[in-house]
Homo-oligomer: A and B are copies of this chain.
Amino acid sequence: MHNSIYLLKTNGLSKTNGRLAILDLFMAAGQALAHADIEYQLEKTFDRVTIYRTLQTFVEKGILHQIPTTDNTILYGLCKEACQDGHHHDNHVHFICIKCEKTNCLDEVTVPVVKLPKGFQPVHSAMLVKGVCKHCRS
């Protein structure tokens, strides 16, 4: 896994405290985070607007990918090395635990290809699985 500074440099982004703090949060969390989570964890260290803009920049650069949700928030997950400039390789399954409420990227589980009705041409697929994660089964 690349470190934060390397990630910023290779994406032509300047190294700022805000960006480093946000990247470090994601690396430490090991799970998907929403804007609100980040704002909460950074405790006013950075402006809310900066967080919005940073997340947007990271998505554009392919450092983060967006994970669909049904509760009008956007979740962000750290992309693996293969991602770059808009062309995301986030075709893995996302797992949402109904107990701890955490969302994890199951990097090793690829989204299966489904057969679509005649005329529908797929470009990208996403898959969400809800259930109980391995940490909550005890």
Q: List chain A positions with a Cβ less than 8 A from chain B.
A: 66-74, 93, 95, 98, 106, 108-109, 111-112, 114-134, 137
Contacts and interface: CB of A to CB of B under 8 A. Distances in A.
Contact of A125 (B115, B122, B127): B127
Contacts of A129: 114, 116, 120, 122, 124-126
When all copies of this chain in the complex are counted, the total is 2
A124 B120 CA distance: 25
A125 B109 CA distance: 14
Contacts of A71: 74
Contact of A98 (B72, B109, B114, B123): B123
Nearest to A97: B120
Given A114-B127, A127-B128, 20 more contacts: A67-B70, A68-B68, A69-B69, A71-B74, A111-B114, A112-B112, A116-B131, A118-B134, A120-B132, A120-B133, A120-B134, A121-B131, A121-B132, A121-B137, A123-B130, A123-B131, A125-B129, A125-B130, A127-B127, A128-B128
